[in-house]
Amino acid sequence: MINAIIIEDEKPAMELLVKALSESENSIHIDAVLSSVKEGKEYMANDPAADIIFSDVQLTDGYSFEIFKNSNLRIPVVFITGFNEFMMNAFASNGIDYLLKPVCKEDIQKSLYKYFKLKNHFSEHDDRLANLVHHFQTRKKNRMVVRRGLEHIALKMEDIVLIYTENKLVYLLDNNGKKYIGDKNLSELELELDDTVFFRTNRQYIVNINYIKGFKPYEKVKLLVDVNLPDLNHKIIISQEHAPEFRKWIYEA
């Protein structure tokens, strides 16, 4: 018996996946069907004993990679999406396979076959595999390639004060107040950042802890972050929902 978790926010796609799993040659029990990043984080926090996860990449409240980003879970994941641009992120997030929609029974069977091959191969080398996974999960980028005019610049991560989105573009501000353009969206960049240094305050901003002067209450239930950068024309607000997480993050830094 294989215990599986499904993470999918589109009902037709979820029903198709359930049907494909039920028709598999293997006996599969679906432990849970989740539909958002929030539900995924809450469920994974209880350390489920599932054998495999089938997860859509793009959910209503973000990318499913966020569910596994800070997790110690070692459950293999089969990522499912309508696009092929997230493949590298998938394999950096416990991914063992990457399926393009629509998914059929044959796709599922191939993924399960790969799961069994990997399980058998690494069962005798568990500690070595754990160390290898830990190495790749904890390795952080030192620089980020950004654009300023026609020039491409390798900007040091320690010099980035703020990353934000505006008019569908992503911008970065360095500690000299210079503005650059990023080549990825905010959610993709967030996956590459050291979460002990950078915090996603809301849908628009990511801030570097080394440039935070402090914070104060805003509209009673929110927080207003004060960033140490002259002439900063941005109001960085943390919602009521993320305020406890921000306080924990900054006090434990």
Task: Give the CATH number of the domain where residue 163 resides.
Answer: 2.40.50.1020
Q: Same domain for 83 and 151?
A: no
Q: Same domain for 24 and 125?
A: yes
Among residues 113, 138, 163, the one where a domain terminates is 138
Distances (CA, A) of 30 to 21, 93, 99, 112, 231: 9, 21, 19, 14, 53
Q: Same domain for 241 and 180?
A: yes
Beta bridge partners of 30: 4
Q: Which two tokens stand for residue 122?
A: 């690494």
Q: Same domain for 125 and 19?
A: yes
For the chain, give the percent of residues with pLDDT over 70. Answer: 85
Task: Give the CATH number of the domain where residue 132 resides.
Answer: 3.40.50.2300
Q: Same domain for 118 and 148?
A: no
The pLDDT assigned to 117 comes to: 72
Among residues 108, 138, 168, the one where a domain terminates is 138
**Residue 39 neighbours by CB under 8 Å, 6+ apart:** 7
The tally of domains found in the chain comes to 2
Name the pairing type of β-strands 28-34 and 2-7: parallel
The pLDDT assigned to 214 comes to: 93
The pLDDT assigned to 26 comes to: 77
The pLDDT assigned to 104 comes to: 76
pTM of the model: 0.51
Among residues 138, 153, 188, the one where a domain terminates is 138
Peptide bond into 102 cis (omega under 30): yes
Q: Same domain for 100 and 24?
A: yes
User: Could you tell me the residue range of the domain that residue 237 belongs to?
Assistant: 143-251
Q: Same domain for 84 and 197?
A: no
The pLDDT assigned to 123 comes to: 55
Q: Same domain for 113 and 205?
A: no
Q: Same domain for 93 and 153?
A: no
Q: Same domain for 131 and 11?
A: yes
Q: Same domain for 16 and 64?
A: yes
Convert the pLDDT of each residue in 91-103 to its tens digit: 454 566 767 777 7
Q: Same domain for 48 and 129?
A: yes
Ranges of the chain with pLDDT below 70: 70, 82-96, 98, 120-140
Q: Tokens 């993050």, residue?
A: 249
Beta bridge partners of 163: 172, 206
